[in-house]
Amino acid sequence: MRGRLLLSVCILLSLLFSCAKVQVSQDYDPSYPFNTERIYAWNEELQEKDGGLLVKDDLLRKRFVDDINTILAQNGYQQNKQPTILVSCSFTVTSKFQSEPFNSGIRFGYGTYGRHGGIGFGSGSSLRQYNQGKLTINFHAKQSGLLVWKGTGTMEVSTHAKPDQVSRDVNAMVSAVVEQMFTQ
């Protein structure tokens, strides 16, 4: 019974810590009437110019655009040919390094039939390389062309992920970035 409880706790903790966390930030013009200006279109010109990987990868671009459209629609925004807001997004992947300045550990062991045993101590530092995806979503006022809202999200991504994992990562990033807009 106790073993099952311990195993369940370990599995739960590994699932909790293996879930990707999206770090988000935003900046916006507090004088812009976000409550009344809810008709948007995609800024194709800016999207082609500043889209990052989305310019080269149609599948990835479709995932991001579809998720952004869905979340905006769920929050009362309508896509229309006569918009008041122009939306664009970009996605980039950069290689990052993470260092742990100090690692230590103690290990115990024993051999076959209890004949050999030992204790090990270790210390040192570690370095890990990973890929960080960065999503930026911009809202420009159509009339003035000025940037009125910018949301950014970053998370660790795999460049060799399966399509279902890519879709989950895209959804996590888009949700985290766009949802912060509605908590202003």
Catalogue all structural domains in the chain, each as residue range(s) with its CATH number: 21-99+126-183 (3.30.160.670)
**Residues 126 and 104 sit within 8 Å (Cβ to Cβ):** no
Element (H, E) at 22: none
Mean pLDDT in residue range 148-161: 93
**Could you write out the three-class secondary structure of 64-115?**
HHHHHHHHHHHCCCEECCCCCEEEEEEEEEEEEEEEEEEEEEEEEEECHHHC
SS3 2: helix
Name the amino acid, one letter, at 127.
L
Model pLDDT, residue 127: 75
Q: How many CA atoms lie within 13 A of 30 on its CB side?
A: 1
- The average confidence (pLDDT) of the chain is 82
Give pTM, 2 decimals.
0.75
What pLDDT does residue 22 have? 94
* Residue 112 pLDDT level (bands cut at 50, 70, 90): low
pLDDT of 98 reads 77
Cβ proximity of 40 and 87 under 8 Å: yes
HSE-up of residue 126 (Cα within 13 Å, Cβ side): 8
pLDDT band at 171 (very low <50, low <70, confident <90, very high): very high
Q: Hey, which of 42-46, 119-123, 136-140 has the most confident mean pLDDT?
A: 136-140
Helix, strand or coil for residue 178? helix
- Greater confidence (181 vs 23) lies with 23
Instruction: State the distance between the two ends of the chain, measured CA to CA, in whole angstroms.
Output: 47
Sole residue written with tokens 């409550």: 35
Taking only the tens place, the pLDDT of each residue in 64-87 is 999 999 999 999 999 999 999 999
Residue 107's pLDDT band, with cuts at 50, 70 and 90, is: low
Which one is predicted more confidently, 150 or 13?
A: 150
